[in-house]
Amino acid sequence: MRMWMVDPKEMCRKHLLGEHVECHMFVGTLLKNKKVDGYVKKGLLEIHNLSNRHNELMFEMKRRGYKHNSLLPKFKKSKVGKINIEENILELKKRCKDCFKY
């Protein structure tokens, strides 16, 4: 699981929908009081940005005509985690030939 935090308009369908699902998975994990320390330490999660990121992804999904029926449950937000967006852009470009074509 990871938050890319890349501009959703630049993401292919697979990565856009994947990150959306992972936002829900992270919140589910937090609601079950499970630790996410490893994700935070590796720069894969910003807990304080989960809701905003979900909304960004949702708006892009709707813009593309995808259905969205999954609201993010309320959860305790804490100012935890820092993602390096520039590194993630490079990583995503390495992994996916379809991202950054939109």
What span, in angstroms and rounded, lies between the C-alpha atoms of 54 and 8? 10
Q: Cα angle at 63 between 75 and 50, to 5 degrees?
A: 20
Q: What is the pLDDT of residues 29-66, one digit of tens each?
A: 999 999 999 999 999 999 999 999 999 999 999 999 99
Q: What is the model's pTM?
A: 0.93
Rounded to 5 degrees, φ, ψ at 90 are -65, -40
Give percent of the chain above pLDDT 90.
Answer: 93
Q: What is the pLDDT of residues 74-98, one digit of tens each?
A: 998 889 999 999 999 999 999 999 9
Q: What is the pLDDT of residues 4-30, one digit of tens each?
A: 999 999 999 999 999 999 999 999 999
- pLDDT surpassing 70 at residue 102: no
What span, in angstroms and rounded, lies between the C-alpha atoms of 17 and 23? 10
Residue ranges of domains in the chain = 8-95
What span, in angstroms and rounded, lies between the C-alpha atoms of 44 and 101? 23
